[in-house]
């Protein structure tokens, strides 16, 4: 859309406020909201904000930042909050002189996708985003109590989140999402909504907006939606499986009808090899919280081993059965607390490194990895994913491909911030410790 077209639609639809949306380094949605009198200035990319107030951005002496909206991301939210309708545009964060800001996650992803384009490829991503719906207490604070005991693909009345989930789907469709499926997940109160794959930047924009919409509509239903990876001990955690492939124009570069037995091209196999080679190095990005590693444990379907399969779901990378245009690899380790821009950037960088250096992924592992002995895993050269955030950060610091994909500013800010979180976690006294030790000792 052009600036004139956006202004015309705002007038026609009664849009009174425009949210200039971006994310901080950890993926939290941020925005500067402007009234209709400032729409022209906003569309020209002249709105400034204090970058020193955003974690991982700039120091206080370098605080001024510009918001440059991507005109193609203009969408009107499907509700009226009483003061007029609200629209959103996703922005790139720029320096005051208009140059790229090295700490902007969206710019980071664009930089890696540009590298892919120079190699002739466009990354396509389709995420499966899981989340929980929890009840609120009498004071309106979130609990970890669910409002149903539904399981995989259950229907109402067992699935009591159906009405809220349908409202989420309708809101997504009104904003241009092509929703492919929505259903109850394995755990009580857990849900999944899948939307059609797009190029990496568009999909990252969509994930950021998706998380906002889900939480907003859940609140309207008197519920709390959370993308925390593992909120309940003993239940499955929430993942964000990422289906990904590389296209040249309209042709899927992962498909080769003549390549037996899997019809996976050499490009696809090398891409998978790169993902496996760097999985430990990028896990701190795709699984960014202390809590993330309580999901990546045996017994709850989440992957714990670095392997691939064209059949079963126990390894980290799975090849779905679809071929032709739908040929893709499904990376099953990411969770929905990640920053989608950085997560897609590091996975793409890993895959491109695999293509550049012709990294062999080895044969697929078509046995259940969860039931293998350690001896058998060693024989098959199956590595393990990090078991803690600290281990993941240690691996990230040693992986030059991942550090280069992020750039010096982002990688140093990210690692420093997460190290502080880990230190804080270690210093806490947790309920499990009190329950186990207080009476015993």
**Distance between CA 136 and CA 218 in Å, rounded?**
11
| Residue 249 exposure: Cα atoms within 13 Å on the Cβ side | 1
Q: Where are the domains of the chain?
A: 3-101, 111-431
By the 10 Å C-beta count (0-12 exposed, 13-18 middle, 19+ buried), 222 is classed as exposed
Please provide the DSSP assignment of 328-345 as one string: -EEE----TTS-HHHHHH
End-to-end CA distance of the chain: 68
CA angle, residues 77, 82, 83, in degrees to nearest 5: 85
- Whether 64 contacts 55, CB under 8 Å: no
pLDDT tens sequence for the chain (441 residues): 899 999 999 999 999 999 999 999 999 999 899 999 999 999 999 998 877 767 656 554 456 889 999 999 999 998 887 788 999 999 999 998 889 998 999 999 999 999 999 999 999 999 999 999 998 888 888 888 887 665 444 445 544 577 888 899 999 999 888 888 888 876 888 898 888 899 999 999 999 999 999 999 999 888 999 999 999 998 889 999 999 999 999 999 999 999 988 999 999 999 999 999 999 999 999 999 999 999 998 877 788 889 998 877 678 999 998 899 999 999 999 999 999 999 999 999 999 999 999 999 998 887 777 777 788 888 878 889 999 999 999 999 999 999 999 999 999 999 999 999 999 999 999 999 999 999 999
Same CATH fold assignment for domains 3-101 and 111-431:
no
What class does CATH assign to 3-101?
A: alpha beta
The model's pLDDT over 375-427, given as tens digits with 9 standing for 90+, comes to: 888 887 888 999 999 999 999 999 999 999 999 999 999 999 999 999 999 99
* Runs of H (alpha helix) within 14-81: 39-43
**What pTM did the predictor assign?**
0.92
Does the domain spanning 111-431 belong to CATH 3.30.2020.30? no
What pLDDT is stored for residue 49 in this prediction?
A: 85
Around Cβ 82, how many Cβ atoms within 10 Å?
A: 5
What pLDDT is stored for residue 79 in this prediction?
A: 87
Rounded to 10 deg, the angle between the 340-356 and 200-220 helix axes is 150
- Distances in Å between the Cα of 340 and the Cα atoms of 206, 215, 293 are 9, 17, 18
Tokens at 283, concatenated: 């896990």
- Distances in Å between the Cα of 378 and the Cα atoms of 51, 83, 298, 368 are 47, 62, 17, 15
Which positions are annotated as active-site residues?
50, 128, 130, 185, 192, 241, 313, 330, 332
For 159-166, the CB contacts below 8 A with 24+ separation are: 159/184, 161/133, 161/189, 161/191, 161/223, 163/221, 164/133, 164/217, 164/218, 164/221, 164/223, 165/191, 165/193
3-state helix, strand, coil in the chain (%, to 5): 40, 25, 35
């Amino acid at each position: 859309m052009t600036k004139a077209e956006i202004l015309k639609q705002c007038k026609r639809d009664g849009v009174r406020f425009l949210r200039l949306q971006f994310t901080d380094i950890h993926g939290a949605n941020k925005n500067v909201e402007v009234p209709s009198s400032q729409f022209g200035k906003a569309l020209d990319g002249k709105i400034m904000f204090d970058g020193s107030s955003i974690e991982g951005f700039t120091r206080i002496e370098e605080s001024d930042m510009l918001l440059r909206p991507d005109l193609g991301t203009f969408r009107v939210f499907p509700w009226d909050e009483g003061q007029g309708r609200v629209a959103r545009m996703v922005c790139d964060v720029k320096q005051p002189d208009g140059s790229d800001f090295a700490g902007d996650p969206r710019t980071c992803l664009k930089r890696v996708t540009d590298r892919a384009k120079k190699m002739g490829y466009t990354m396509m991503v389709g995420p499966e985003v899981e989340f929980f719906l929890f009840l609120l207490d009498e004071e309106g604070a979130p609990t970890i109590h669910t409002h149903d005991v539904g399981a995989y693909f259950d229907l109402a009345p067992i699935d009591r989140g159906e009405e809220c989930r349908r409202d989420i789907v309708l809101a997504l469709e009104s904003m241009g999402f092509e929703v492919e499926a929505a259903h109850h997940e394995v755990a009580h109160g857990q849900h999944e909504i899948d939307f059609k794959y797009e190029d990496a930047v568009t999909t990252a924009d969509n994930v950021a907006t998706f998380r906002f919409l889900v939480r907003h509509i859940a609140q309207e239903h008197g519920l709390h939606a959370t993308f925390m990876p593992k909120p309940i001990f003993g239940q499955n955690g929430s993942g964000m499986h990422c289906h990904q492939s590389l296209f040249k124009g309209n042709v899927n570069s992962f498909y080769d009808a003549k390549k037996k037995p899997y019809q996976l091209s050499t490009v696809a196999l090398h891409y998978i090899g790169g993902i496996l080679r760097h999985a430990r190095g990028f896990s701190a990005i795709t699984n960014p919280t202390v809590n993330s590693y309580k999901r990546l444990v045996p017994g709850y379907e989440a992957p714990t081993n670095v392997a691939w399969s064209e059949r079963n779901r126990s390894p980290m990378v799975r090849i779905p059965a679809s071929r032709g245009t739908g040929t893709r690899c499904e990376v099953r380790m990411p969770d929905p607390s990640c920053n989608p821009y950085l997560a897609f950037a590091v996975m793409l960088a890993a895959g491109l490194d695999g293509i550049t250096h012709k990294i062999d992924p080895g044969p697929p592992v078509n046995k259940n990895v969860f039931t293998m002995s350690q001896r058998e895993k060693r024989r098959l050269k199956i590595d393990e994913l990090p078991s803690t955030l600290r281990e993941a950060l240690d691996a990230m610091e040693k992986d030059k491909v991942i550090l280069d994909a992020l750039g010096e500013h982002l990688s140093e800010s990210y690692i420093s911030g997460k190290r502080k979180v880990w230190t804080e976690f270690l210093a806490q006294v947790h309920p499990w410790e009190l329950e186990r030790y207080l009476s015993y000792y």
